[in-house]
Every structure is written in structure tokens, then in C-alpha cells.
Amino acid sequence: MRSELSEPTVYRLCVVLRILEELRSKQIVISSSELSKYTNTTAYTLRKDFSLLSGVASSKSGYDIENLIFCIKSKLDIGIAKYAAIAGLGRIGMAILNYTDSRIKGYDIVAGFDASVNKLETLHTDIPLYPAYDIEDIVRELKIKLAVIAVPADKAQEIALRFIKGGVEGIINFAPVIIKTDVDTVYIKNIDLVTEFNFLSSIVKTKGE
Amino acid sequence: MRSELSEPTVYRLCVVLRILEELRSKQIVISSSELSKYTNTTAYTLRKDFSLLSGVASSKSGYDIENLIFCIKSKLDIGIAKYAAIAGLGRIGMAILNYTDSRIKGYDIVAGFDASVNKLETLHTDIPLYPAYDIEDIVRELKIKLAVIAVPADKAQEIALRFIKGGVEGIINFAPVIIKTDVDTVYIKNIDLVTEFNFLSSIVKTKGE
């Protein structure tokens, strides 16, 4: 069904979905031009993206927000839980492990990993925890498809490879290195807040006086 | 001094800096090819970037890590504190307000803002807090140059404009909307984890069976 959607279209629909879910408690309909304002995408592009969905209801005043949320979620299979795991149970890892916010309920975090077996014994959580050397086996056994990596820089690439060998297809990497793979069926998103802060700071100085 | 550096070069140097700071406790020197592995940038490009710095010391075995950290920080003025502020004191906002990790000590967070005056009275922090309607005045008065926005979606654009009017030159936006500006002296980075998770989930399904 979804194979006809390009990655940029999928990304824009994810941005739109996020905004609709923020606005649903405040308004009932929204026009493509109002959505355009929030997403920095032209109303024309948004209407084109929506034309690829099924069952979208619109009137002169705009799109019905609840209907549009339903159509996007159906098309993107968001809300159908996918098994996820987290490696590296430091501050970021534990924050995500405990992030049970309903907005990411499409994820069922079924395993946490850490290299330190001693640390695993001190953590309190309902989610099963395993030593990092078990990653490949557990990922295969539990059919885990998504991984979050929050391990130290010099371990990140190796941990990513274990996840990929086990069958993971998507990785969000918070370690401050750029993880890469030759396997083009795996999507990797690298996110590092400290780098963003430093970059911003440098740019500000450059653009300032 | 730094005006000769392009934005991509500055960004790569920020990525390199972050990795060097992670590795400094484990090794003394690093080669451009090893750094290339961590940054997903060619060794040639890295050497070219480093040639734009002053005082870089290298030997056959590679670059001296402490020296390279010093050279990058000097060139990018990282470590010289810039005044920053945070708007929206919910979960993300408070986490960043309290994030006193030494790795971002280049930021001196001098103000927090929230639309709810009642909420401001219940928060305990050493950083001065102000109501959101004071943003423009306080930013101007304290010469704040960087802002972090963590307010609800429908307020983010308006809050950003107040910061920009006050004189802010860089914004990191965690609200789930794309903030934009016509002022080209302001750099805005939009970061939304839920969107990234949803996108990843959709892509995984697309690429999977």
C-alpha cells in the first residue's frame, strides 16, 4: 500500500500528523494554508501529499482534523506497535525507556541493553534488560525492528552492527558519532544535541557582529 | 577570524569536536582516517577543514587530540559563554534548564520563560524565571543571543518572533512545528523526536516485507 510514497512525502506527513495531534483539542478543521504556515511546506505540496491518502474528507473551510489524523495513521501504519529496543542505559537511554507518552505509543519497547551487567542489576524498570553481548540473539528472537542507541561514542558503530545483524531496520542514534551502514535496507538517523548547540553557537558568532 | 569558514565546515568541526571530547580520556592521538570512520566524512575533507585552523599539531601517527580540541574551540569560539534562554518550562524545557553538563558549558542560561505565571511560582531553580510576555524586553536587557523553544505548537512561531525582535540570533526549536523567519541573520534548527520516531517507523515498514 505505502510503497508509492516517497521518503520526503512520508516525512512531511509525519510532521503534519504531529501538528494535528497538538491542535486537535483546540480546533476541528484546518485549511491547507494554515497547515502550510506550521510546516514550512507549500499548501499545494500538502494537498498533493493528502491526495495520496485514502478517504480524506475536506470542505470549503478545510480538512477535518480527526479524519486527517486517521487517514495519515492508516496509510503510514502509525499506531500499530512495532517492537523496539534501547542500548545504553545512561541518562538519555533511561529517559527514553521510561518515556511512556501516548504520542509514541506506536512503539513497544521490549528490551533494554547495557554493557555493564552490574548496572543492569541496579536498574528498576518493567522492561526486560539484557547484557549488550546478547543483542543479536534477543533482536532475532523478539523480532525487534527499531533500535535506539545511546552508548558511548567508541561503542556505537559496533552496537549498531549487532542490531542490524539481528534484523533491525531502523536506528535512532544519540551517540556523538555518525553511524553508517552499507546495508541500504537500514535507515539511520543521527541526533546529537550538544553538536547542534555548538554549531548554533558558532554560527551565531559568525553572523553576529 | 571565522568568517572564512563555510557552514558545512563549521558543522563538521562541531561533530569532530564532540567525538574528540568523548575519546580524550581513552587515547592521545587520532589519525584523519580514524576520525573519518566516526564522522562519515572523508579523511581528505577533514584534513582540509583542519588546514583552516591555526596551530594544529600532527605527526605520522596522527593529530594530538588535546591540541586539536583547543584549536577547534578557539576557532569556533566554543567555550566562551553566550547568553541563552529557554521558553516553555514543561518536561523538555526543564530538562534543558537543569542540564548543567560540562559539555555545554559554553552556554550561560540566564533566563527561563513560561506563559503561566502560576507555574513560574511553583518551579525551583537558581535561574531567574519570567512571564513569557516579557521575552522581548529581557532578551534585549540581558543581551541573550540563543534561545531554546519548548512551548506548545500553536505558540511557537509567536514566541520565536518575540525572541528575534529582542535580538536573538540562534534558536533550537523542540515544538512540533517548523518555525521560520524572513530574517536571514537568525539560524533556526527544528528538532522533534516524536516526528523522527514516526518517520522511522513508517520507513521501516516500507522497507520491510
- pLDDT digit string, tens, across residues A74-94: 898 877 778 889 999 987 788
Predicted pLDDT at B109: 85
Domain with residues A2-76, CATH architecture: Orthogonal Bundle (1.10)
How many other C-beta atoms lie within 10 A of the C-beta of residue B42? Answer: 12
**Chain-chain contact of A201 with B39 (C-beta, under 8 angstroms):** no
CATH number listed for the domain at residues B82-196: 3.40.50.720
**Chain A environment of B208 (Cβ under 8 Å):** 145, 169
Report the residue from A10, A107, A176 with minimal CB separation from B202: A10
CATH class of domain segment(s) B2-74: mainly alpha
Q: Taking CB atoms and an 8 Å limit, are B206 and A82 in contact across chains?
A: no
Of A140-149, A178-187, B91-100, B143-152, the range with the lowest mean pLDDT is B91-100
CB contact under 8 A, A199 and B14: yes
Annotate B45-80 with b (16+ C-beta within 10 A) or e (fewer). ebbebbeebeebebeeebbbbeebbbbbbbbbbbee
Angle at CA A27, nearest 5°, toward A23 and A28? 110
pLDDT at A63: 96
* B17, B195, B201: residue with CB nearest A15: B195
Instruction: Test B203 with A170 for CB contact under 8 angstroms.
Output: yes
* A125 vs A184, more confident: A125
Checking if the pLDDT of A99 tops 50, the result is yes
Letter for the amino acid at B112? G
Taking an 8 Å cut-off on Cβ atoms, the answer to whether A18 and B176 are in contact is yes
| B203 interaction partners in chain A (CB closer than 8 Å) | 7, 10, 170, 187
Q: Around Cβ A83, how many Cβ atoms within 10 Å?
A: 17
Q: What is the pLDDT of residue A104?
A: 54
Helix (H) or strand (E) holding A112: strand A107-114
**Least Cα separation, residue B150 to chain A (angstroms):** 13
CB contact under 8 A, A207 and B185: yes
Q: Which residues of B touch A83 (CB under 8 A)?
A: none
| Nearest chain B residue (CA) to A156 | B38
Q: Could B187 and A205 be called an inter-chain contact, meaning their C-beta atoms sit closer than 8 Å?
A: no
- Write out the DSSP string of chain B: -GGGS-HHHHHHHHHHHHHHHHHTTT-SEE-HHHHHHHHTS-HHHHHHHHTTSSS--EETTEEEHHHHHHHHHHHHTTTS-EEEEEE--SHHHHHHHT---GGGTTEEEEEEEES-HHHHHH---SS-EEEGGGHHHHHHHHT--EEEE-S-HHHHHHHHHHHHHHT--EEEE-SSS----S-TT-EEEE--HHHHHHHHHHHHHHH--
A–B interface: beta-carbon pairs under 8 A: 198
CB contact under 8 A, A201 and B107: yes
CA distance B41 to B33: 9
Residue A166 banded pLDDT, cuts 50, 70, 90: very high
Residue-level pLDDT, tens digit, chain B, 209 residues: 445 788 889 989 999 998 898 889 889 999 999 999 888 889 999 999 999 999 998 888 899 999 999 999 989 887 777 888 999 998 778 877 776 544 455 678 889 999 999 999 998 888 899 999 999 999 999 999 899 999 988 899 999 999 999 999 889 898 888 887 777 778 888 887 778 878 887 777 654 44
Q: pLDDT tens-digit profile of A17-34?
A: 988 988 898 899 999 999
Q: Do domains A2-76 and A82-196 have the same CATH topology?
A: no
Residues of chain A with Cβ-Cβ distance to B78 below 8 Å are: 198, 201-202
Of B78, B177, B185, the CB nearest to A198: B78
Query: Is there a contact between B198 and A106 if contact means CB atoms under 8 Å apart?
Result: yes
The 3-state DSSP class for residue A30 equals strand
Cβ atoms of B188 and B180 closer than 8 Å? yes
Question: Which chain B residues contact residue A201 at CB under 8 A?
Answer: 76-78, 82, 106-107, 146, 170
Determine the 3-state secondary structure of A84 from DSSP. Answer: strand
pLDDT tier, A153 (very low <50, low <70, confident <90, very high otherwise)? confident
Q: Is the CB of B11 less than 8 angstroms away from the CB of A178?
A: no
Residue A206, pLDDT > 60, answer: no
Burial class (CB within 10 angstroms; exposed 0-12, middle 13-18, buried 19+) of B1: exposed
Q: Where are the domains of chain A?
A: 2-76, 82-196
pTM for this structure? Answer: 0.71
